[in-house]
Amino acid sequence: MTNRFDPAASDSRWQERWDAADSFRADSASPKPKSYVLEMFPYPSGRIHMGHVRNYTMGDVLARYRRMQGFEVLHPMGWDAFGMPAENAAMEKKVHPGDWTRQNIATMRAQLKRLGFALDWSRELATCEPDYYGHEQALFLDLFEAGLVYRKESEVNWDPVDMTVLANEQVIDGRGWRSGALVERRKLSQWFLKITDFAEELLDGLKTLDDWPDKVRLMQENWIGKSRGLQFRFKRAEGGGEIEVFTTRPDTIFGASFVAISPGHPIAEALGAERADVAEFIARCRQGGTTAAEIETAEKLGFDTGLEVVHPLDPEWRLPVWIANFVLMDYGTGALFGVPAHDGRDFEFATKYGLPIRRVVAPSVGEANAAVTEAEIGAGVAVNSRFLDGLATPEATAEIIRRAEADGWGEGKTQYRLRDWGVSRQRYWGAPIPIIHCEGCGAVPVPREQLPVVLPEDVSFDVPGNPLDRHDAWRQVPCPQCSGSALRETDTLDTFVDSSWYFIRFASQPSDKPFDRAEAEAWLPVGQYIGGVEHAILHLLYARFWTRALERIGRLGMAEPFKGLFTQGMVTHETYRAGDGSWLSPGEVRRDGDDWIHIESGQPVTTGRVEKMSKSKKNVVDPDAIIDRYGADAVRWFMLSDSPPERDLEWSIGGIEGAARFVQRVWRLAASVDSGGSGSDAAIERKLHKSIAALGEAIEALQFNKAVATIYELVNAIEKAKPSATRDEAIRTLVKLVSPMAPHLAEEAWAMMGGKGLLVDAEWPSHDPALLIDDEVTVAVQVNGKLRETLTVPRGSPRDELERQALAAEKVARLIGDASPRKLIVVPDRLVNIVL
RNA sequence: GCCCCCGUGGCGGAAUGGUAGACGCGAUCGACUCAAAAUCGAUUGUCGCAAGACGUGUCCGUUCGAGUCGGACCGGGGGCACCA
């Protein structure tokens, strides 16, 4: 028996034992109830960071707990291995994206293994391997054949110097990040998935996701952005043609003072082709980036085309047609009518360009002519609106839609903000889109027997742009239909496609098809999915869509892939800056009283905000170094301690040291077992059973900070207890209870105490409900709601007995004095409140 | 601008409308030690010698009783659509 638990020796010993016993292999054929615990798989960026450790530790605790409860647990790990950083590395370091990625995977896999996660490594997958993305190509073709894939023109950021497409994050202040050239928008023909076909059911489905955070459901709801309104047409005053608009406020139709069309609207483009001034204005609108932040801060620009349209409810009423930079082509119809009095943006626009501002909604009919000093966007009653006058906003809205439909100039419509999912990426390091373009036959799917379409390895990155475009040997293929010469699609799939079905492939991975339906359905939906909130919208929405699409084409019998979702907070760290403003890493500074100084120079250091660990701010702590020093279990324990898991966790050296101390405390308790104690100890027995119950509840609710506190309380109680048989038993149980969180320590302690077999195979301790209830309770005695005394009485003492004892208490009697209580509130076993 | 979340000791945080501050970190004192580390014990919301008073961002309300419920405000953080 040793005095100290030695993680350096112990961690790898038990990891090897679990491996040898195949402890974490998930058996799809097992008769046990199944539980699928999944954490979002990592991008192999180089090394594991603390955020990964926190994420995977949480999932691991749940997986190990479920396993001990008797579930057959699927807890897999893989790699979201396609993406831009690999191509950037290729350009900067002259390495092949595949070599770079596979090297990172090897490094990170080794790092994960050091943490002793209960993962089924036999199911490991990497999305960059043909045995994964080949099946993805087959699924893409399934969706293609089902009519859920189509091609359309769409704008991309184009770098005119590097001659390459840029992602939003590669556009810095409107310029290409490498070339520095002003970015242009360019139209390309691209592939889209019809996610908008599923808008309504994706929205409806959110209601069934009870085990998701409300926050995420709300974010998805807002993203889908359903709204009801009126779609209608303005006739061109010049004759010949109409402009169709959509509005959610048809009740304000008599407040219209202009019609605005998007610079991308066909009418705008047609005018631009004829008139230099229009073309110039459109070009101005297209300057600058496409990100939300940039558009939001952009000044509103308008151009009066001189065209006019006729108001649908008054043939004499003409409205001017403007081109406006704030009108989006891909929402609604790309055109709108402006009601300055009741829309903030229209108000600003009308004020700038001197357009009429007419009140048509007021708090009451009597205020019909009150001045409009700012946009009043709330509901009220219609005024100055002819036949709508006096109607409340909802009624006015219904009435105008009814009339539009009756008179045939418009119809009620549901509009979604959600747009179809563009999946084409003009990049090498992604799954090739399995399409062949033939001049005669058009876009032809690659025949199934030719899948996978494998990425060629012999590519170079010395020139910007997609190397596939330059790889003629790979591109040039015969057309599958006419055998004429044809070209492969050189765009690759968005990496969100890769992550939209990996959880299905984890559950079932036959070599000849993407998954076996029965096997996949045995595991899915994922019982608990854990990951960062940064994926609250895109990844989770795309995965939900993909699952529904597979359901629609009859491949999978479920609508929702993730039953439970948990979004964990980030791991943060204080930041440090030297006098010259440069960032310093935690290892370069040390504390000096209340100040911090730079170790090397001795200069003072300013501490900055606590922020997410990031390389750019140098506030990262490498998990490997911490494991070397403190062992895997201390790291795991700290990741679970203190902060509620959905909130940020601030890394601190004190925190990890406290965790390491705890590991040793448990070890010392285990070492003290069977040291001669006998007899029973009712208090410890109760504490133990209460702890088992509380711990189970906390783990199920993923409240790991509370789980940790529960364990601490138990350890404190056992340490203080005198030796007894009960105490020995409590220590054995304690070791089981900590095993999901600190598995290496638990196994080592279990073995030291002479436990049989691997603890990982042990049953989760059960608790006796009878022992959760104390015989004696402490009852609070309040006078006028303030605590004055407490009573210790037998559980279930009658009300009159509680009253009697409360009134008899010395402090209480003194406060009451001569007064007689007006009222006595008695909550049995809890409190007595004496109201004077 | 809109939407959402959060404000509790020196710090992270507990608390079915019912004894605020569990648990951890830090700190102070003590024990052990030649000394240190490790460990153990005690104390630790504020004011006060004490009795006691005050105390969950601020104000108002509901209630016998509010950290918890409602309203208004202040502060911090996050998300996002020029979405008609």
Q: How far is the CA of A228 from the C1' of B62 (A)?
A: 38
- pLDDT at residue A1, rounded to an integer: 44
Closest-approach nucleotide to residue A301, Cα vs C1' = B82
Higher pLDDT: A258 or A678? It is A258
The type of residue at A580 is D
The complex's ipTM works out to 0.90
- pLDDT at residue A140, rounded to an integer: 96
Nucleotide B14's nearest residue (CA vs C1') is A706
- pLDDT at residue A181, rounded to an integer: 78
- pLDDT at residue A149, rounded to an integer: 94
- pLDDT at residue A776, rounded to an integer: 83
Higher pLDDT: A778 or A375? It is A778
Q: Is the pLDDT of residue A593 over 60?
A: no
Window from A67-81, A729-743, A779-793 with minimum mean pLDDT: A779-793
**DSSP string for residues in A252-268:** GGGG--EEEE-TTSHHH
The number of residues in chain A equals 836
Nucleotide B6's nearest residue (CA vs C1') is A647
**Contact assessment for residue A234 and residue A242, using Cβ atoms and an 8 Å cutoff:** yes
Q: How far is the CA of A51 from the C1' of B18 (A)?
A: 40
Kindly provide the b/e burial profile for residues A115-126, where b requires at least 16 CB atoms within 10 angstroms of the residue's own CB: bbbbbbeebebb
- pLDDT at residue A365, rounded to an integer: 83
Average model confidence (pLDDT) for chain A?
88
C-alpha A733: how far from chain center = 36
Closest-approach nucleotide to residue A654, Cα vs C1' = B25
Closest-approach nucleotide to residue A652, Cα vs C1' = B25
A525 upstream amide cis, omega within 30 of 0 = yes
Closest-approach nucleotide to residue A833, Cα vs C1' = B64
Q: Is the pLDDT of residue A595 over 90?
A: no
Q: How far is the CA of A397 from the C1' of B14 (A)?
A: 50
With 0-12 CB in 10 A as exposed, 13-18 as middle and 19+ as buried, what is A464? middle
- pLDDT at residue A678, rounded to an integer: 78
Q: How far is the CA of A642 from the C1' of B21 (A)?
A: 15
Q: How many CB atoms lie within 10 A of CB A586?
A: 19
C-alpha A273: how far from chain center = 44
Rounded to whole angstroms, how far apart are CA atoms A359 and A340?
9
Closest-approach nucleotide to residue A713, Cα vs C1' = B23
Residue A289 has which token pair?
A: 């980036």
C-alpha A190: how far from chain center = 27
Q: How far is the CA of A697 from the C1' of B61 (A)?
A: 36
Nucleotide B20's nearest residue (CA vs C1') is A787
Closest-approach nucleotide to residue A650, Cα vs C1' = B12
**Contact assessment for residue A569 and residue A647, using Cβ atoms and an 8 Å cutoff:** yes
Q: How far is the CA of A407 from the C1' of B61 (A)?
A: 52
Residue A466 has which token pair?
A: 């997609």
Closest-approach nucleotide to residue A250, Cα vs C1' = B84
Closest-approach nucleotide to residue A657, Cα vs C1' = B25
Of A71-75, A460-464, A824-828, the range with the highest mean pLDDT is A71-75
- pLDDT at residue A156, rounded to an integer: 75
Q: How far is the CA of A714 from the C1' of B39 (A)?
A: 19
Q: How far is the CA of A199 from the C1' of B79 (A)?
A: 21
A354-369 pLDDT, tens digit each: 899 889 988 888 888 8
Residue A413 has which token pair?
A: 């419509």
Nucleotide B22's nearest residue (CA vs C1') is A709
- pLDDT at residue A717, rounded to an integer: 92
**Contact assessment for residue A835 and residue A824, using Cβ atoms and an 8 Å cutoff:** yes
Closest-approach nucleotide to residue A260, Cα vs C1' = B84
Catalogue the E-assigned strands of A26-148: 34-39, 72-74, 78-79, 125-126
Q: List C-alpha distances in Å: A365 to A159, A373, A381, A386, A531.
A: 56, 18, 7, 12, 53
**DSSP string for residues in A310-341:** EETTEEEEEEEEEEETT--TTSTTSEEEE-GG
Q: Is the pLDDT of residue A437 over 90?
A: yes
A623 upstream amide cis, omega within 30 of 0 = no
Q: Is the pLDDT of residue A243 over 50?
A: yes
C-alpha A67: how far from chain center = 26
Closest-approach nucleotide to residue A790, Cα vs C1' = B19
Percent of chain A residues past pLDDT 70, beyond the cut: 95
- pLDDT at residue A546, rounded to an integer: 95
Our separate counts of H helices and E strands in chain A read 27, 37
Rounded to whole angstroms, how far apart are CA atoms A724 and A684?
10
| DSSP state for residue A354 in the 8-state scheme | T
pLDDT-based confidence at A287, cuts 50/70/90? low
**Contact assessment for residue A576 and residue A588, using Cβ atoms and an 8 Å cutoff:** yes
Q: How far is the CA of A598 from the C1' of B36 (A)?
A: 27
Q: How far is the CA of A59 from the C1' of B39 (A)?
A: 34
Q: How far is the CA of A831 from the C1' of B47 (A)?
A: 29
Residue A243 has which token pair?
A: 């402009």
Q: Which 3 state secondary structure label does DSSP give A783?
A: strand
Nucleotide B63's nearest residue (CA vs C1') is A785
With 0-12 CB in 10 A as exposed, 13-18 as middle and 19+ as buried, what is A658? middle
Closest-approach nucleotide to residue A293, Cα vs C1' = B80
Q: Which 3 state secondary structure label does DSSP give A491?
A: coil
Q: How far is the CA of A787 from the C1' of B65 (A)?
A: 10
A71-112 pLDDT, tens digit each: 999 999 999 999 888 988 888 888 999 999 999 999 999 999
Q: Is the pLDDT of residue A639 over 80?
A: yes
Q: How far is the CA of A318 from the C1' of B10 (A)?
A: 70
Rounded to whole angstroms, how far apart are CA atoms A564 and A62?
12
With 0-12 CB in 10 A as exposed, 13-18 as middle and 19+ as buried, what is A449? exposed
| DSSP state for residue A602 in the 8-state scheme | -
Q: How far is the CA of A508 from the C1' of B8 (A)?
A: 48
**DSSP string for residues in A671-698:** HTTTSS--S--HHHHHHHHHHHHHHHHH
Q: Is the pLDDT of residue A804 over 90?
A: no
Closest-approach nucleotide to residue A717, Cα vs C1' = B23
Q: Which residues 6+ apart lie within 8 Å of A12 measured at CB?
A: A114
Nucleotide B52's nearest residue (CA vs C1') is A788
Rounded to whole angstroms, how far apart are CA atoms A204 and A212?
14
Listed as ranges, the nucleotides of chain B within 7 A of a protein C-beta are: 1, 3-5, 12-16, 18-20, 22-26, 38-41, 52, 54, 64-66, 78-84
pLDDT-based confidence at A331, cuts 50/70/90? confident
Q: How far is the CA of A688 from the C1' of B19 (A)?
A: 24
Closest C-alpha to A572, from A613, A514, A538? A613
What is the spatial order of strands in the sheet that A776-783 belongs to?
Answer: A786-794, A776-783, A831-835, A823-827
Q: Is the pLDDT of residue A295 over 70?
A: no
**DSSP string for residues in A540-584:** HHHHHHHHHHHHHTTS-S-S-SEEEEEEEPPEEEEEEE-TTS-EE
Higher pLDDT: A42 or A674? It is A42
Closest C-alpha to A542, from A6, A80, A78? A80
Q: How far is the CA of A319 from the C1' of B71 (A)?
A: 45
- pLDDT at residue A561, rounded to an integer: 94
**Contact assessment for residue A514 and residue A136, using Cβ atoms and an 8 Å cutoff:** yes
Closest-approach nucleotide to residue A779, Cα vs C1' = B19
**Contact assessment for residue A146 and residue A449, using Cβ atoms and an 8 Å cutoff:** no
Q: List C-alpha distances in Å: A393 to A360, A363, A404.
A: 10, 10, 16
Closest-approach nucleotide to residue A247, Cα vs C1' = B84
**Contact assessment for residue A752 and residue A744, using Cβ atoms and an 8 Å cutoff:** no
Q: How far is the CA of A453 from the C1' of B76 (A)?
A: 52
Nucleotide B80's nearest residue (CA vs C1') is A292
Q: How far is the CA of A710 from the C1' of B23 (A)?
A: 7
pLDDT mean over A468-494: 93
